[in-house]
Amino acid sequence: MAAEPQAHRPAEGGGRSAFSPLKRPAFAVLWVATILGNTGTFMRDVASGWLVTELSAAPSAVAMIQVAGTLPVFLLAIPAGVLTDIVDRRRLLVGVQILLGGVSAALMFCALTGALTVGLLIGLTFLGGIGAALMGPAWQSIVPELVPKPDLRNAVALNSLGFNIARAIGPAVGGALLVAFGAATTYGADVASYAVVIAALLWWRRPAAAEDGLREEFGGAFRAGLRYARASAELRLVLLRAALFFLCASVVWALLPLVARQLLGGDAGFYGLLLAAVGAGAILGAVLLPRLRKKLDTDGVMLCAALGAAAVTALLAAGPPQALAVVLLLALGAAWIAALTTLNGTAQAILPNWVRGRGLAIYLMVFNGASALGSLAWGLVAELAGLRGTLLIGAAMLAAVALLARRLALPAGEADLTPSSHWPEPALAEPVAHDRGPVTVTIEYRVRAADRAAFLAAIGRLAPERRRDGAFFWVVSEDAADPERLVEIFMVESWAEHLRQHRRVSQADADLQAEVVRFHAGPEKPVVTHLLGV
């Protein structure tokens, strides 16, 4: 169905009922539909994960199913995020649901006819991953359209709850169907779930988007998202922490079918029960997490989550009794949701609205890329070191990375990123075509010699903001004939992109710019000039 909902920044109205968004018919209908759709997806994944162990005993083949499901999200996350911003989201969602339904229908047909092979299973899982890549940013982006702003935080919380309800139910039901009726029936149930979601999306009447003369095109939006990621040190830090965690933690997900079959002596039903325990643990973790956050900061929560996941991984290597294994998977689910919501929430807190979809898409790319690379690597390691040895290696690496990553503190995400709208409209002799460029903007300051070092330090902190908001070039120069005349110069690719800069400047950016301007010693404000390429 859809990718796991991501944590959002707290919105206004925190005192409202947690279930108040369900009073909105559109949200309620789509919320129920997503639970059914995600339940079907988990049923399909259980069938595929178990069938590959019957078709091949090689750990690398089992791990390739995980790779096939996550690699497309790594490859397509950013284009999907851009696409979400420039096409009708409802139509995109309907089209992706049809694609995913077709994938499950093909799996059902192959299972019925006995034509399913490892290669075919991996290929169809890859197609399903393409659908998931397109689905994630679009589904997250429609939530603000379904509920008013005061209900946004509760709506996101309900989406996370619904996803984990599906994760708790889907694997158990899928495992039971697989044992009782076979893979074809399990895949057929997934096809039916897509029909429910499509019907709900067709029922929803999404308001037509208002025309915007500055609406971004695919190429420009793609470049703007990459520029922002390159210029944002805070986002890069979150991405690094996420990559390190998911690369190590993926050892359990890559090898869990083999753990269930070989180390724990279970069947398909037991494998489904283990996955259901992860979902139930995630629900429990989501309930307990607010209490944990009252006692620990963000980095403390991440440390506990990583060490908890490492301990579970090491204990699974010992081949515990099945009942204890279920308890361990409950703990793993709690640790996983703590890490996931902490990283997602931090990413949300540091991203302004104008680039939120693309920033989250980059985060999803790193998340799924690290998971895919980790799954592939752990499968190969298991070929050499065996199942138990690989789990122990993964647990040790996860614990070591968790302790070392404490030196890379996650950003607080407390800056005010709402638009400041304090830039005046540019002075024009005549209207300028939106596609004209490049545009060079110069800002002239007069800075006393005694203030020069402090001014350069302040304006140096302004450079990443210029680049995040759209500049592809930035420099400060001095007048050779008048060293107190310093000129800030930055370039953007088009006039439209510069006008978008006016919208993107945040309150935090305005405070930083005010700090720079206070060093200006001229009688008037700094002189701003706009130069157009000819």
Is the domain of 350 the same as that of 476? no
Q: Quick one: pLDDT at residue 151? A: 72
Tokens of 47: 């069938």
Residue 7 in any domain: the answer is no
Single residue among 360, 391, 407 that ends a domain in this structure:
407
Residue pair 118/55 in contact (Cβ under 8 Å)? The answer is yes
The answer to whether 476 touches 462, Cβ cutoff 8 Å, is: no
Q: How many helices (H) and strands (E) does the chain have?
A: 16, 4
Residue with tokens 């989201």: 89
- 11-25, 138-152, 379-393: which range is least confident on average? 11-25
Output the CA–CA distances (angstroms, integers) from residue 89 to 27, 107, 207, 245, 457, in the order listed.
15, 27, 11, 31, 43
Give, for 531, the enclosing helix (H) or strand (E).
strand 527-532
> For 341-377, what is the HEC assignment?
HHHHHHHHHHCCHHHHHHHHHHHHHHHHHHHHHHHHH
For 173-222, write each residue's pLDDT tens digit.
888 888 888 888 999 999 999 999 999 999 998 776 556 667 777 888 88
Nearest C-alpha neighbor of 397 from the set 289, 297, 279, 247: 247
Give percent of the chain with pLDDT exceeding 70. Answer: 94
Instruction: Examine residue 432 and state whether it is found in any structural domain, yes or no.
Output: no
pTM score: 0.76
Residue type, position 532, single letter: L
* Tally of domains within the chain: 2
Residues 457 and 397 both lie in one domain = no
Q: Among 236, 237, 233, 239, which Cα is nearest to 409's? A: 237
User: DSSP assignment, residue 442?
Assistant: E
In a domain, residue 133? The reply is yes
**335 & 473 share domain:** no
In this structure, the answer to whether residues 475 and 366 fall within a common structural domain is no
Residues 149 and 289 in one domain: yes
Do 228 and 346 fall within a single domain? yes
Q: Dig out the tokens for 213 from the structure.
A: 């003369």
Q: What is the CATH number of the domain that holds 64?
A: 1.20.1250.20
- Nearest-angstrom CA–CA distance, 73 and 2: 12
Q: Per the domain annotation, does 415 fall within a domain?
A: no
- Check residues 335 and 67 and name the one with the higher pLDDT: 335
Q: Is the pLDDT of residue 286 over 50?
A: yes
Strand order in the sheet with 439-446: 473-479, 482-492, 439-446, 527-532
Does 400 share its domain with 487?
A: no
| 253 and 310 both lie in a single domain | yes
Last residue within a domain, chosen from 407, 431, 457: 407
Contact criterion met (CB below 8 Å) for 316 and 391: yes
Predicted pLDDT of residue 8: 40
* φ, ψ (nearest 5 deg) of residue 433: -65, 140
Provide CB contacts within 8 A for 227, sequence distance 6+.
467, 468, 470, 471, 472
Q: Which residues pair with 487 in a beta bridge?
A: 444, 477
Is 403 found in the same domain as 443? no
Query: Beta strand pairing status for 527-532 and 439-446?
Result: antiparallel
CB 286 within 8 A of CB 158: no
CATH number (domain holding residue 523): 3.30.70.100
Angle, helices 89-113/59-86, rounded to nearest 10 degrees: 160
**How high is the pLDDT of residue 208?**
66
412 inside domain:
no
Strands 527-532 and 473-479, by their bridges, are unpaired
Same domain? 254 vs 353: yes
Q: Report pLDDT digits (tens) over 426-485.
A: 888 888 888 888 999 999 999 999 999 999 999 999 999 999 988 999 999 999 999 999
In a domain, 110, yes or no: yes
Q: Does one domain contain both 191 and 103?
A: yes
**Mean pLDDT score, 311-337:** 92
What is the pLDDT, as a whole number, of residue 397? 95
In a domain, 449, yes or no: yes
Distance separating alpha carbons of residues 382 and 392, to the nearest angstrom: 11
The pLDDT of residue 154 is 67
Q: Is residue 77 part of a domain?
A: yes
Burial of 289 (0-12, 13-18, 19+ CB in 10 A): middle
Domain range for 341 is 20-206+216-407
Same domain, 191 and 94: yes
